[in-house]
Structure 1
Amino acid sequence: MIKRDGHLKFVKPADLANSLRQEQTASRITVIDVRDNDHVGGHIKGSQWVPLNQLDARMPELLRANKDMERVVFHCMLSQQRGPKAALAYVRAKAYDTEKRQKELGEEGKQEEETNSDDQKVESGGQEVCVLEGGFGGWQALYGEDKMLTDGYVRDIWD
């Protein structure tokens, strides 16, 4: 389902689509679209649009709004630059936030965190943070006209 590319995880469009089609998993996934003006012509249904140039300013809001999500998926048009950059920024901000909370809790809170054996979950604060393989360009080719998965799709833009 998810493959590793360096430190980033990528999710295949088919796997994300299957998860979003299931109510029980869809409610635990957030998709964040970091495209800029290339956002025109469609987007993944239910996704949050946060242009990359607004990401830093909106990071506290994203961390707060998505703190209980099991998976946060970032994407741009091709998921080669902006999507991965945004995902890494989110993971770093989340790690900083977690470290800050641990210092506030003192050693007692730190020991509690260290007992968790799943290193990946500790690093991302219990979340799986990944990037949509192929970005929206790949997504729209497969699911652009699927109204359950894509909103605002304008076929003429993609033809």
Structure 2
Amino acid sequence: MSTESVSEPTFIEPSTLVTLLQDPSKKPGIDYVIVDVRGDDFANGNIRGAINVPSHELLNNPGDLVKKLEGVKEVVFHCALSQVRGPKCAKKFSEALALREPLVGDVPGNGATLQPTPKVYILRGGFENWQSGVERRALIEKYNEEYWKNPY
């Protein structure tokens, strides 16, 4: 098991995420991944390039996502408001990061190393806040404006 220290997830501001998404030198899937932990409402709009891993799936087996995202530098979690599911999933993911095994082929005790630990963030305000910013609409895929007028 890793003895590497994994820090607690921190909040990222929407404006910072906009800058990341618009930076042509940053590659999705390598430099960053956005993990949307919402359920059915994902189909009514998502941040460009986000992957959907419903919170119940992630919480049941966070190690699967850790393996899938091995080598990614930054991981941003969010749900509708980023008050419960998003932060809980980000924390569970961070805990699973701390339990990673050395890379295949490495022998523990003989200098086995892990991929660099990604920075883990929670999008402040979640998708509700994100979609309310007109300047961010260009960074949303499959946006259903009618749905978001009254999603609940």
- Could you say which TM-score interval applies, normalised by the shorter chain? 0.7 to 0.9
- More deviation, 80-89/18-27: 18-27
Question: SS of 1:32's equivalent?
Answer: strand
1:41 to 44, 62, 65: 44
Offset at residue 61 of structure 1 (A):
3.5
- State the alpha-carbon separation in 2 of the partners of residues 96 and 57 from structure 1: 15
Question: Which residue in the other structure is 1:85 paired with?
Answer: 88
1:107 to 106, 109, 125: 109
Q: How does 1:5-154 map to 2 (within 5 A)?
A: 7-27=8-28, 28-56=31-59, 59-97=62-100, 100-101=101-102, 105-109=107-111, 125-143=116-134, 146-147=137-138, 149-154=139-144
Task: Supply the AA of the counterpart residue of 1:47.
Answer: A
* Deviation readout 1:6-40 (Å, 9 max, x if unpaired): 93301001110111011212431100000112324
Question: SS of 2:95's equivalent?
Answer: helix
Alpha-carbon RMSD across the aligned residues, in angstroms, is 2.5
Question: SS of 2:129's equivalent?
Answer: helix
Q: Which runs of 5+ in 2 are unaligned?
A: 1-6
Contact preservation (8 Å) 2:35, 2:52: yes
Question: SS of 2:21's equivalent?
Answer: helix
- State the alpha-carbon separation in 2 of the partners of residues 143 and 52 from structure 1: 27
> Cα 1:108–1:137, aligned 2, differ >3 Å: closer, same or farther?
same
Contact preservation (8 Å) 1:145, 1:153: no
Question: SS of 1:72's equivalent?
Answer: strand
- More deviation, 84-93/135-144: 135-144
* Deviation readout 1:80-104 (Å, 9 max, x if unpaired): 100011001111111101xx329x7
- State the alpha-carbon separation in 1 of the partners of residues 134 and 77 from structure 2: 17
Offset at residue 136 of structure 1 (A):
0.4
Question: SS of 1:30's equivalent?
Answer: strand
Offset at residue 105 of structure 1 (A):
3.0
- State the alpha-carbon separation in 2 of the partners of residues 43 and 145 from structure 1: 11
- Identity fraction in percent: 29
Contact preservation (8 Å) 2:9, 2:119: no
* Deviation readout 1:89-137 (Å, 9 max, x if unpaired): 111111101xx329x7333326x78xxxxxxxx9xx4210110000000
